[in-house]
Amino acid sequence: MIAILKYNAGNIFSVNHAVLALGHKTVVTDNPDVLLKADKVILPGVGEASSAMKYLNEHSLDVVIRSLTQPVLGICLGMQLLCTASEEGNTFCLGKFDHKVKKFPPKDLVPHTGWNSVHNLKGELFRNINPGSDFYFVHGFYAESGIQTIAETEYILPFTSAMQQDNFFGTQFHPEKSGKNGLFLLKNFLSL
């Protein structure tokens, strides 16, 4: 069973639909017991960091997420919440990735919305995906590149478009909205 975390963030329907389309059973939940027993856990994300973390903290989901030992995938805001902190609302996050989330420099081109290519691909998440493949992004905040970076993208400046630490994975882009490349990536995650 694939657990999709229900918290103070959007895009749950699209993620659920994509996972179902790949032939997996899902449950949308914020129940700690269900999350702990799931085969995989996905943190979808469209929203704002401080209100999302407030929900996780108030429901003790922060402790549950940190303790998960099965593969976990954070998408967009979900990835950012797995970092140490975010400039969005000066938020302390879950700390699974040793990255800080920063706001893009003020430009007319923020937020970063649309298709962009990913490079420097590493690891199982990108199996059968070519460097330079396009994925769909919607975000105004980014994580700098670091040791846990497994893919990078250039937009105003270079940033982490995917990261991994042990059983925790994150994508700044939305695989559920990224056509065949996104489905390949979700399939790779679900096969871990």
Q: Each residue of 8-21: b (16+ CB within 10 Å) or e? A: bbebbebbbebbee
Of 46, 45, 2, whose CA–CA distance to 20 is shortest? Answer: 2
Query: In a 10 Å sphere around its CB, with 0-12 CB exposed, 13-18 middle and 19+ buried, how is residue 38 labelled?
Result: buried
Out of 99, 112, 139, 174, the active site residue is 174
Out of 17, 58, 76, 119, the active site residue is 76
Out of 88, 99, 112, 176, the active site residue is 176
83 catalytically annotated = no
Calculate Rg over the CA atoms of the chain.
15
User: Hey, what are 12's tokens?
Assistant: 């749950």
For 45, phi then psi, to 5°, come to -175, 115
Is the separation of the CB atoms in 49 and 167 below 8 Å? no
Angle between helices 179-190 and 12-21 (to 10 degrees): 70
Query: In a 10 Å sphere around its CB, with 0-12 CB exposed, 13-18 middle and 19+ buried, how is residue 190 labelled?
Result: middle
76 catalytically annotated = yes
DSSP string for residues in 13-32: HHHHHHHHHTT--EEEE--H
Which sequence positions are flagged as catalytic?
A: 76, 174, 176
